[in-house]
Amino acid sequence: MTCQHPRCSLPIHSICSNHCFWSLCSQHLGEHRTILINEFEQVVQDLIKPTNMLSKSVEQAKENMAKDQQHEFDLLERSHQNQIQKFDQRLIAISRLQIQHTQMSEHLAKIKNNESNLTQDDFQKVDKLIQEINQHKTLPTDFDISLPEKQVQSNNCPLKSLNVYGLRASHNVRLCTHQKRSRDLYNHFRYYHQLTKDYANILQNAVLDNLDPKKTVLFPADAVITDVHKKYPCPFQDASVSRGIHSTPCSFLVSKRYLPVHLKIVHHLRAAQIQEVVKSTKFEN
């Protein structure tokens, strides 16, 4: 038996078990293997940058958390100092009241020993002292610490212009044309801006962590941040064998980039047919 690759009459070497399951000669088996390796290499390479950027995003978030923590510690310390000063002032005032009470006790002893006279003014002084003591009783004795809450505009999309988080025209990302707001930033980044899952997650975290979009670079200049390598079902997934197309129905998942190669190798289509299929195929997101 001969090789199943179109227009090849060389003897069969083995079955292409990881790709098309054809019986191929050694030459075409090597070609199919090379195609698979190239595609897998591309997928692996696409994972490197998002992973590195995710690490940088987490490190940045950690650094911001440390800064926020230190800022709150500083506020807490200043608040404690202010409260301590208030308590010190109250202690000074209470000390004066204690001195007045001591003086009244000494005056009472003199009255009992007939060394001084009791007058209406003595009762007025006692009433005044009681009022001052009651005023201090109503003042709080615990700390009143109010730290400013961190305001996060988590529903504002930052992708309204270029040069935010390192975004460039070469990234080919759809921009928001107005003050776009969304309750779910992740899905907004995924389906409106077509960002990959990794970059959608990285950008969402950056927005929630209030990272400066002008100083923080999430998107390297040469990074692929959209789903250009996303895989879709083959256009012939539901095709009937009666249509005369080889290897149908097809269960393969194919990226836009490798669809023409898939149509040629697996389904034996000619150039004009491939062009027509690619043009008519709608890639759902």
Cis peptide before 249 (omega within 30 of 0): yes
Mean pLDDT for all residues in the chain: 80
Residue 122 lies in a domain: yes
Residue 89 shares a structural domain with residue 123: yes
Residue 259 lies in a domain: yes
Residue 28 lies in a domain: no
Residue 143 lies in a domain: no
Q: What is the domain count for the chain?
A: 3
Q: What distance in Å separates the CA atoms of residue 187 and residue 172, rounded to the nearest whole number?
A: 18
Q: What distance in Å separates the CA atoms of residue 285 and residue 272, rounded to the nearest whole number?
A: 26
Look up the pTM and report it. 0.35
- Domain boundary pick from 113, 138, 163: 138
Q: What pLDDT, on a 0 to 100 scale, did the predictor assign at position 140? A: 58
Task: Return the higher-pLDDT residue of 242 and 216.
Answer: 216
| Three-state SS sequence of 143-155 | CCCCCCCCCCCCC
Residue 221 shares a structural domain with residue 237: no
Residue 242 shares a structural domain with residue 211: no
Q: What pLDDT, on a 0 to 100 scale, did the predictor assign at position 141? A: 54
The band of 150, judged by pLDDT with boundaries at 50, 70 and 90, is: very low
3-state helix, strand, coil in the chain (%, to 5): 50, 5, 40
Residue 24 lies in a domain: no
**Residue of 77, 61, 3 lying closest to 207 (CA atoms):** 61
pLDDT digit string, tens, across residues 73-126:
877 788 788 788 888 888 888 888 889 889 889 989 998 898 888 888 888 888
**Residue of 167, 146, 276, 266 lying closest to 218 (CA atoms):** 167
Residue 165 shares a structural domain with residue 197: yes
Domain range spanning residue 262?
230-285
Residue 19 lies in a domain: no
Whether residue 214 contacts residue 162, with contact meaning beta carbons closer than 8 Å, is answered with no
